[in-house]
Amino acid sequence: MLQFPTDILIAGQWRRGAGDPLDTVDPATGHLLATLHAASAEDVAEAAEAAAKAVADPAWRDLLAHERSRLLHRIADLIEEAADELSALQTADTGKTLAETRALALSAAGTFRYMGAALETAEDALTPSRGPYVTMSVHEPIGVVGAINPWNSPVASDAQKIAPALAAGNAVLLKPAAWTPLVSLALGRLITRALDEFRLPTALLSVLPGSGRVVGEAIVRHPLVARIGFTGGTETGRSIAGAAAHKLVPASLELGGKSPTIVRADADVEQALAGVMFGIFSSSGQSCIAGSRLFVAREIYDSFVGELVARVAALRVGPGTDPATQVGPLVHHRHRDSVAAYVDLARSEGARVLCGGSAPEGERYTDGAYYLPTVLDGLANTSKTCQEEIFGPVLVALPYDDEDDLVRQANDSVYGLACGIWTQDLRAAWRLARRIEAGTVWINTYKQFSAATPFSGWKDSGLGTEKGRDAIRAYQRQKSLYWGTSSHPLPWAG
């Protein structure tokens, strides 16, 4: 039987948080899964102080790179061994399908494994000098870092911050979202197990669920937290950026999106239909990279959208534990109501609801946070529906006339996170990929990731980069060393 965590990880110790009770609810049924106590500001302070001591502990501070790499590989092994449990916890907490949550658990393992490999091959530099000295550039840990993650893909998001931070020699204070803390706590238990096996201080990781106003604020503003990694909403990101600027500490911010997905007239229609649907309706649209604005060449618009609507209407909606489910519930009833309010807004703006547009009917759906996959059209790209992030299974279809019209509309957004292009014309794909203002562009695919490939957002979609070899360096400070070789190292020396 699946065991739900009730204690939280504070300064390497599992115990009850000093904050308010925190209920976690199964969004498929509305049933209570577990009640735990959130962290308090005092818990955060204790965790930060213990983390600073752990970073300075010679057992961790002097650990050689290949030994830290062994630790990361061990964590990856433990995640893979526990993949079914992690998948079941995340499905219970988020409503995602078991197939998706298992893939996310394995992705987390892959991230730890990649960062371990990258760490073993990371090099400092002997730099050119123009004097009687040898110059070197080396990298050292930042110290205590804060990692604040959203509720939509917790275990994968956690790994993207914890793995490079540990690889770089730091300690981590992780704040998972209040709605979905369970899988992050389970991941914390695996990481502390690995730290114990290597006889390293377990205070290198704390997992501190709670509200952004209490726990997030305490992490961001604590004087010992020397770097912040945040994934979430743009307005919260702005606030964190301001706090980081005040402290003069670095921050990486992976924020919102309203990503365009483009179907040219020469696209492979079957491939494009499948890709567009996956891009917006997987994860029930609860993804910052969701392809929520669909631009279709006008000459194929009616036929393509007509076939798309027929297929979307046939998608199977249900609980994530049902192997037949393609679209699960939204994460929380309050979020479902927010998505429904956006569809009502779209109607008021003149949208046509081509399919969906409501919660599904039937006893199976009565108590869950379900919303039907929805396709809208009849809106201008300037409408609020097309400009604001909905974060749900809602797709807006828009026609375009030529490439310049397409690029103008696609780039007419405060966001610049991702884009999908469906075409068989390689030259056109290259031109569009370079003209679109986005950190990631997929061509004839969508929502595919590699731990080795950097991920970043443009404009209001973020600041800084995650993944790739440089992710480790982002959690380190650079230091220059000058080694004098002359017996008269200074100009006025005798």
Indicate the pairing of strand 260-263 with strand 352-355: unpaired
Mean pLDDT of the 214-224 span: 97
State the span(s) of the chain assigned CATH 3.40.309.10: 260-443
Q: What is the pLDDT of residues 261-291, one digit of tens each?
A: 999 999 999 999 999 999 999 999 999 999 9
* Catalytic residue list: 254, 288
Q: Report H helices in 253-332.
A: 269-281, 298-313
Q: Tell me the average pLDDT across 475-482.
A: 95
Residue 493 above 60 pLDDT?
no
Strands (E), 118-224: 125-127, 133-141, 144-148, 171-175, 205-207
Query: Residues 14, 202: contact at Cβ < 8 Å?
Result: no
The answer to whether 260 and 458 are in contact (CB under 8 A) is no
- Are 393 and 363 spatial neighbours (Cβ–Cβ below 8 Å)? no
Average pLDDT of 139-162? 96
Architecture of the structural domain at 8-255+461-480 = 3-Layer(aba) Sandwich (3.40)
Second CATH level (architecture) for the domain 260-443: 3-Layer(aba) Sandwich (3.40)
pLDDT at 490 over 80: no
Strand ranges in 392-438 using DSSP code E only, listed in sequence order: 394-400, 415-416, 418-422
Comparing CA positions, the residue from 125, 37, 108, 112 lying closest to residue 71 is 112
Beta strands in 195-235 (DSSP E): 205-207, 225-231
Which structure tokens are listed for 313? Answer: 């209407």
- pLDDT (tens digit per residue) in 283-323: 999 999 999 999 999 999 999 999 999 999 999 999 999 99
Task: For residue 228, name the pLDDT band (cuts at 50, 70, 90).
Answer: very high
**Which DSSP helix (H) or strand (E) runs through 94?**
helix 83-94
Q: Which of 126-140, 218-232, 255-269 has the lowest mean pLDDT?
A: 126-140
Q: For residue range 418-433, what is the model confidence (pLDDT) as tens digits?
A: 999 999 999 999 999 9
Q: pLDDT at position 324, please?
A: 97
Q: Where in the chain is the domain with CATH 3.40.605.10?
A: 8-255+461-480
Residue located via tokens 């990371």 = 122
**Do residues 379 and 350 lie in contact, with contact meaning Cβ atoms separated by under 8 Å?**
yes
Q: Phi/psi at 138 (nearest 5 deg)? A: -125, 165
pLDDT of residue 76: 98
Partner residues linked to 396 by β-bridges: 293, 376
Determine the Cα angle at 259 with ends 253 and 262, to 5°.
150
* CB contact at 8 A, 203 and 51: yes
Taking the chain, what is the end-to-end CA distance rounded to the nearest angstrom?
A: 79
Are the C-beta atoms of 231 and 263 separated by less than 8 Å?
no
For residues 148 and 230, the answer to whether their CB atoms sit within 8 Å is yes
Burial of residue 335 (CB within 10 Å: 0-12, 13-18, 19+) is buried
The helix (H) or strand (E) run that includes residue 263 is strand 260-263
Half-sphere exposure of 467 (CA within 13 A, CB side): 18
Strands (E), 79-195: 125-127, 133-141, 144-148, 171-175
State yes or no: pLDDT of 437 exceeds 70.
Answer: yes
Q: What is the pLDDT of residues 64-119, one digit of tens each?
A: 999 999 999 999 999 999 999 999 999 999 999 999 999 999 999 999 999 999 99
